[in-house]
Chains A and B, each alone.
Chain A
């Protein structure tokens, strides 16, 4: 009589082993397929909408790997003549400087700026933010000569002062799809998208998004002063000198470049800016 329950128990254990084996095989297949599916990513740069809070897209970009953490991407911030810009450092805004302002910003961090002395709007201050979400891979020695050009035009400053929220996604233009328009070093052409569209997705179709500029929205409490949450923690800034009037000596080695043949070497100053309407593809 003792043999019967033992056989019954063996049968139960055999069936349990079969079930366990099938579960293990199913898990292998599921996780294998999941790994293959996760490896197949679409050939775009960002999958996140631009409407995320400042810092979210850059943080996600850092998680994707690559030589981005700790890199100070040189940027050049241009604004209308007369506008003073100051960057937030160590809990306060530093000494204002006239545009253009050059600085090295960390990729993935959010920097708060203060722009004032706006044309025809005395006393008005605008606090834009800059979030660098990617970097350039310039040849050695040319990092500061080719900074990311971030233009804050007068129109955007006026709209931000009126209470509107302006989002500008700066991208590196794809040369194969570039429009044959004359660009300038001081002004930047842009496309306008409707509020229902995602500017980051649009910029991704035109090139490689590299920075997000947000204007409008919050203003600090003038009685208390800007707090650290308003300044996004004041990430470190690498101060860069203004654009030199003479070519930098480290830029090209002698055997590679021919300074005499390049007018840019002799006169690196930017050409005279043309009207905005010529460069803006509408």
Chain B
């Protein structure tokens, strides 16, 4: 009662105390607003909760050099996380050294900037044109293309290999002490000037000038007068006076006339809506059925024995697997890459060419490429300033056969 009186500001009037819906509504509104404000505030999230609830990230290979992340590496461990040497001496480390965490606004997988990726076919798919031109080979792509007996060219990418090798750079800014100086220029000069002499200028009292007439300008009268006269006819168009002042029978309900619904006219309104549905249904496509049934045709001829010769369909397939010698490398280290290619199809493939566009941070070591099959190597430059290792296998590869390509890179 006191709240109601205090809210309405009319103390002493007991008639307002009976309606408590208004303050209750205000309370609900205030609770809703406060809840929204509290929900909109963001605080630091619990790292352990995030690390344990989020899904594993495939971009953080920890053990396998082929880029496959073992599931055990991401399982939450009951053991305290390993840290730098010496952390057991009493300094608690409430963190997960690794985990599928990413900062807000950054798409996963993350952090990609700490890993060197090589292999696969990222971005635009690699394709080989009719003129044997390779299109879509981007940096870090590793693919192999080959020809089949029917003249088709297929492209097979390899798997992706990730190496943990962060590299650091810096952005420097040098600010001198003179940056904070402020030079104020003079805005003007105050130079008092004294009068050297005085002079009086006498203004003439009156002037008189006689002007003669130069020419005579006269006005010319109108010689031709044109009049505009109509044809004498009069036309008038009378518009409609207004809407017909009567409702049609099905409109003569209060909800149509005044917009107010009356319960007594519910039956009329239902009939009108039913009629509307009926009228609408009449506009639909009508199906007419005649009384004739379709005749069935039954045959009694049957093939006794069917002979067929099945030729297995052509299924050319080249499997390309790429591995690295180490899952991590520092700047200056050398990493050996091995590409295993096998003809897992059912026909001979030829003109097998393996392409590996190296990342800019991988420097190809000259004369380090070798292949178990007779092959020709070349290292044209790619778009990033690194090289593309091109290995062209000289011989066709039989089904079930394959080879190994190996080369060495130095991490920049």
Contact = CB atoms under 8 A, between A and B. Distances in A.
Contacts of A179: 360, 385
Nearest to A73: B84
A144 interface: yes
A210 B117 CA distance: 21
A5 to B, nearest CB: 9
A141 B82 contact: yes
Contacts of B115: 175
Contacts of A151: 170
Interface string A117-143: 000000000000000000011111111
Contacts of B328: 139, 142, 145-146, 252
A166 B172 contact: yes
A206 B171 contact: yes
Contacts of B330: 145-146, 185, 264, 268
Contacts of A50: 173
Interface in A239-281: 239-241, 252-253, 256-258, 261-265, 268, 270-271
Interface residues of B, number: 93
Interface string A64-89: 11111111101000000000000000
B105 A164 contact: no
B72 to A, nearest CB: 11
B181 interface: no
A38 B42 CA distance: 10
B36 to A, nearest CB: 4
A144 B112 CA distance: 19
Contacts of B99: 67, 137
A239 B139 CA distance: 40
Contacts of A192: 171-174
Contacts of A258: 325-326
A64 B101 contact: no
Interface of B: 15-16, 19, 21-22, 25-26, 28-29, 32-33, 36-37, 39-40, 42-45, 47, 50-51, 60, 62-65, 73, 81-87, 91-99, 101, 103-107, 111-117, 139-140, 164, 166-177, 179, 325-336, 359-361, 363, 384-386, 412
Interface string A9-52: 10001001100110110011001101100100111110000100
Given A24-B29, A43-B106, A170 B114 contact: no
Interface residues of A, number: 110
B327 A183 contact: no
A180 B58 CA distance: 26
Given A180-B360, A192-B172, A262-B325, A20 B22 contact: yes
Interface in A169-202: 169-176, 178-185, 188-195, 197, 199-200, 202
A188 B169 contact: yes
B327 A257 contact: yes
A168 B170 CA distance: 6
A159 interface: yes
A63 interface: yes
Contacts of B114: 136-138, 172
20 contacts: A13-B22, A16-B22, A24-B33, A34-B40, A50-B173, A67-B96, A104-B84, A143-B97, A146-B328, A148-B168, A164-B174, A169-B171, A169-B172, A173-B168, A176-B140, A192-B173, A238-B84, A261-B325, A262-B336, A270-B332
A163 interface: yes
A44 B92 CA distance: 31
Contacts of B15: 6, 9
B173 A35 contact: no
A63 to B, nearest CB: 6
B331 A71 contact: no
B174 to A, nearest CB: 5
Contact of B334 (A32, A42, A194, A264): A264
A165 B336 CA distance: 44
Given A23-B29, A71-B93, A240-B86, A183 B412 contact: yes
A36 B60 CA distance: 31
Contacts of B44: 62-66, 69
Contacts of A174: 112-113
Contacts of B51: 67
Contacts of A213: 170
Nearest to B93: A70
B278 to A, nearest CB: 40
Contacts, number: 313
Given A139-B327, A252-B326, A31 B175 contact: no
Q: Which of B50, B176, B334 has the most CB of A within 10 A?
A: B176
Given A66-B45, A71-B95, A190-B170, 7 more contacts: A24-B32, A67-B50, A70-B94, A167-B175, A192-B171, A207-B169, A262-B329
B267 to A, nearest CB: 33
A169 B170 contact: yes
Contacts of B98: 137-140
A31 B26 contact: no
B172 A168 contact: yes
A203 interface: yes
A189 B170 CA distance: 6
Contacts of B45: 65-66
A261 B105 contact: no
A188 B170 CA distance: 7
Contacts of B62: 139-140
Given A9-B15, A170-B170, A172-B167, A184 B177 contact: no
A148 B19 CA distance: 68
What 7 A-B pairs are tightest by C-beta distance, nearest first?
A264-B333, A67-B47, A180-B385, A190-B170, A31-B36, A41-B105, A24-B29
A208 interface: yes
A185 B332 contact: yes
A137 B111 contact: yes
Interface in A203-242: 203, 206-208, 210, 213, 236, 238-241
Contacts of A20: 22, 25-26, 29
Q: Which of B16, B25, B94, B175 has the most CB of A within 10 A?
A: B175
A118 B172 CA distance: 20
Nearest to B48: A67
Given A175-B115, A264-B334, A31 B33 contact: yes
A25 to B, nearest CB: 9
